Amino acid sequence: MGERTGLPHGLETGADGRAPAPYHFFSAEQWSHFRADTPLTLTADEVHRLRSLNDPIDLDEVRRIYLSLSRLLSAHVESSQLLFEQRKRFLSMSGETKTPFVIGIAGSVAVGKSTTARILAELLSRWPSSPKVDLVTTDGFLFPNAILQREQMMDRKGFPESYDTGALLRFLSAIKAGHPNVQAPTYSHLVYDVVPDQFQTVDRPDILIFEGINVLQSRHLPADGKIVPMVSDFFDFSIYIDADEALIHSWYVNRFMRLRQTAFKDPDSYFKRYAQAGEAEALAIAEGLWSTINLKNLRQNILPTRPRADLILRKGRNHLIETVALRKL
């Protein structure tokens, strides 16, 4: 069994603090050995292009963490395909085609979900079988700002109620039904809003990566037993990117201050007013946004979904993975 170090309270034990946890735990070094002969198919320049602002991931981190993860996901996809063929024979259904294998990636803002999603998408698409891999984020499924403003929810943007859950579920239902050319709305971080009449078309990929802060969120169930699906019901595998709250706080504030010197200066940026603020004022704004919106969302909605993940990647102070928790079968 792997080392049990650097883990938050509640992961090493069950929810009652006594029962064994349903995870195997590994240090990053132990996890790196599981890559076996998985080839490194990314270059340093590609990793640099794929990583988000303030994320120091490099080729060493790809070798250490992501090659093993790619190998594990390959095993899950192959097992899913085998089960599909067995079920097709069982049901005597000729002509049936396998629906996409869906991977959900969750975690707080500023923790590195987007980097993980992009790195995985590139690695998976370069398997010898050359699978078709698509990446969709939940940002496009946010209600437009006009609706959030009308409902006085702009300060709860990113909370579960700020998403068009019906559209989310219809999208994933169509994906899992094997429909062609399923459209997902797109989002602009520059204007901080859903882009009207602009869509990403997802046409029956072999693998779909679905990334967002609340994708593992559960819902209240009706007493009458009617079907109320959850987003995670459509996942074949789920990943949670984890870190101490204090670290995420510092990463969020540092990213905000860097964006103030870069993207916020764009005249079309929703946040251009922050680029004009002084250093002390901008820092106070970042701290306020963290404490009143992002920290509240993390504690109330995001962190409670962590135990629902199949795999937890826990980061340390340097923003690199220190511990991997893999759910037992």
pLDDT, tens only, 133-159: 999 999 999 999 999 999 999 999 999
The CATH code for residues 23-215+225-327 is 3.40.50.300
Q: pLDDT tens digit string along 195-230?
A: 999 999 999 999 999 999 999 988 776 677 776 688
pLDDT score for 101: 97
Determine the average pLDDT of the residues in 243-248. 97
CA geometry: angle 318, 319, 325, nearest 5 deg? 115
Given the DSSP bridges, would you call strands 193-202 and 311-315 parallel, antiparallel or unpaired?
Answer: unpaired
Determine the average pLDDT of the residues in 295-305. 96
Indicate if the pLDDT at residue 4 is higher than 60.
Answer: no
Indicate if the pLDDT at residue 2 is higher than 50.
Answer: no
What is the model's pTM? 0.93
d(CA 74, CA 64): 17
d(CA 188, CA 113): 17
pLDDT-based confidence at residue 1 (cuts at 50, 70, 90) = very low
pLDDT score for 15: 54
